[in-house]
Amino acid sequence: MSTVIYPSPIFGPIHSRRLGVSLGINLMPADGKVCTFDCIYCECGFNADHRPTLPRPTREEVAAALEAKLKEMAENGPKPDVLTFAGNGEPTAHPHFAEIIDDTIRLRDKYCPQAKVSVLSNSTMLHHKQVHEALMRVDNNILKLDTVSIEYIKKVDRPQQPSYNVEDIIESLSAFKGHVIIQTMFMKGQADGVDISNVKEEYIEPWLKAVERIKPMEVMVYTIDRETPAKGLLKATHEELDGIRDRVTAMGIPCTASY
């Protein structure tokens, strides 16, 4: 299996046991990746290897393609269980992200009111008021926090903006007042000869403290599932993920582990 660049602006639906029928909305160009992180585990590959030549889809293009697909699915099935913002990069970095969320909620209400709207984001644009407010309007606001160690973040998530500050991110996550699902990648192994395991206590304990501060409605812990652009990365084990999940659950916060 190799890294993947998704079609844009709509892809799928993808059937998964966990999400059901998920229709993907990709606000990035169809021929490359644009992200404010450059994670060494990104299933789309490294930013530098997938520079797009096409522009991002416009708000109007997203709404038209989504409406056509939802209409077709309403008529012929399958009915979507979730409309998921994901794809080749960071969806909240689209300049019209907030308006696109409003269009999506309107179209969801018209064609598939049972479906949830989910956003998968790396949390780097939360300081923008309109991004925060738009995420408050979606059903599943799924935000990444892989660790609270800035050294680790620089090695693994590799923020593209020098101003990235993990304390500010934790504050922004807390500002959702529970309307947030924290998603955390746990893994092991080496990248360029450097140990990148975050299943050690020195990473888990401060991360748990941050989760306690954020008070999310849920936490999702997961591990590598596809080929990664960096070689030498290893999956966290079931036992390691289950152990972390149980510690989150013990704080009274629902938590799922995906292997």
With 0-12 CB in 10 A as exposed, 13-18 as middle and 19+ as buried, what is 215? Answer: middle
Nearest approach, Cβ of residue 21 and ligand SF4 (Å): 22
197-236 footprint of ligand SF4 as x/- string (CB under 6 A):
----------------------------------------
How far, in Å, CA of 121 to CA of 189, rounded?
25
End-to-end CA distance of the chain: 17
- Selected from 5, 22, 38, 257, the binder of ligand SF4 by CB under 6 A is 38
Q: Per CB under 6 A, does 176 bind ligand SF4?
A: no
How far, in Å, CA of 47 to CA of 45, rounded?
7
How far, in Å, CA of 180 to CA of 136, rounded?
8
76-115 footprint of ligand SF4 as x/- string (CB under 6 A):
-------------xx-------------------------
- Selected from 23, 39, 211, 220, the binder of ligand SF4 by CB under 6 A is 39
150-169 footprint of ligand SF4 as x/- string (CB under 6 A):
--------------------
Q: Per CB under 6 A, does 35 bind ligand SF4?
A: yes
Nearest approach, Cβ of residue 90 and ligand SF4 (Å): 6
Q: Which tokens is 245 given?
A: 């999940």
Nearer to ligand SF4, 104 or 183 (CB): 183
How far, in Å, CA of 112 to CA of 101, rounded?
15
Stretch that binds ligand SF4, among 16-24, 34-42, 63-71, 244-252 (CB under 6 A): 34-42
Q: Per CB under 6 A, does 44 bind ligand SF4?
A: yes
Nearest approach, Cβ of residue 65 and ligand SF4 (Å): 20
Residue 224 gets the label, from left (phi > 0), alpha (psi -120 to 50) or beta, of: beta
Q: Per CB under 6 A, does 122 bind ligand SF4?
A: yes
Q: Which tokens is 61 given?
A: 């293009």
Question: Mind giving me the DSSP string for 103-140?
Answer: HHHHHHHHH-TT-EEEEEE-STTTTSHHHHHHHHHSSE
- Are 57 and 120 in contact, with CB atoms under 8 Å apart? no
Q: Per CB under 6 A, does 37 bind ligand SF4?
A: yes
By the criterion CB under 6 A, which residues form the site for ligand SF4?
35, 37-39, 42, 44, 89-90, 122
